[in-house]
Structure 1
Amino acid sequence: MAATGFHTADELNEILPGTLPGLLGLVITAHEPGRLEAGLDVRPDLLAPNGYLHAATVVALADTACGLATRALLPDGSAGFTTIELKSNFLGTVREGRIVTVATNAHAGRTTQVWDAVVSDPASGKTIALFRCTQSVLWPR
């Protein structure tokens, strides 16, 4: 599979085993250019020692959704991308169930892309985190 271009949710799910998102149990549920939905089931091994969902689990879900979605909007001729900045605001947490995210593109330029993701608890409808990242578009040397 090419590193860039549009891929269906099923195609993206096929590349996750053997990676951190695969280890976390992340599943892509929908993908269209500029938007990607994903989720994961909360398990005891994804919690922090305090018994709440670990912040890194939330960031991994949001960052993966934004990163996989970035691929569909890369300019022709680019070699890929890398995350150069990310920020999260945590508004809530869960101890069990499922969390989901919707990643949307805010800017898709020739040198950078900016993505927003909202992570939520579908059982309660509450927002768990707001996430934003900037991707640097890489060009062949």
Structure 2
Amino acid sequence: MQLSKEMILAKANEVSKNTLMETLDIEMVDYGEDFLVARMPVTPKVHQPDGVLHGGATAALAESVGSFASHIFTDLEHYFVRGLEITANHLKSVKEGYVYAKATFLHKGRTTQLLDIRVTDEQDNLISVCRLSTISLPLKK
């Protein structure tokens, strides 16, 4: 049985309970054939001391959406996914509202995956550009 888009997003958000994603209020909101989008509210909870979005929170958002994208597009009956490396270039500050992270694949190999993750604000201004590499390893039988 193929799950609907809504069911996949609901399942992704359900497994985020009691994790960093729940702590940061990260929510998966859209996905398609080759992308996944998550959003996170920008509140004092994710600010650095001077009142703008913390780069670490942005990186956590990027890694969350990228890792979930790798999970969605991997055969989880036979493989599990782990992150290998993340980089983040922060370009603009945000004080409030939501930021959106869209993960798309640059490489979707059998073993390794490379994702481009663009973080934007509600006006579609580019906030950060991130790259995440993941690896799919076989489950032990």
Range of TM-score over shorter length: 0.7 to 0.9
Question: Sequence identity of aligned pairs in percent?
Answer: 27
What residue identity is the alignment partner of 1:63?
A: E
1:16 equivalent in alignment to 2:16: yes
- How is 1:58-77 mapped onto 2 (pairs within 5 angstroms)? 58-75=58-75
Cα separation, 2, equivalents of 1:76 and 1:10: 17
**Aligned residues between the structures:** 135
Deviation at 1:113, TM superposition (A): 0.5
Report SS of the residue matched to 2:65: helix
Unaligned runs of 5+ in 1: 1-5
- How is 1:26-105 mapped onto 2 (pairs within 5 angstroms)? 26-75=26-75, 78-105=78-105
Report SS of the residue matched to 1:70: helix
Report SS of the residue matched to 1:105: strand
Report SS of the residue matched to 1:8: helix
Contact 1:77 1:139 in 2 (8 A): no
Contact 1:78 1:137 in 2 (8 A): no
Aligned Cα root-mean-square deviation (Å)? 1.7
Cα separation, 2, equivalents of 1:20 and 1:94: 20
Cα separation, 2, equivalents of 1:78 and 1:129: 33
Cα separation, 2, equivalents of 1:8 and 1:77: 16
Deviation at 1:125, TM superposition (A): 2.3
TM normalised by structure 2 equals: 0.88
CA-to-aligned-CA distance 1:82-123 (integer Å, 9 cap, x gap): 11111111100111111111111111111100111100111x
Deviation at 1:66, TM superposition (A): 0.5
TM normalised by structure 1 equals: 0.88
Unaligned runs of 5+ in 2: none
Deviation at 1:60, TM superposition (A): 0.9
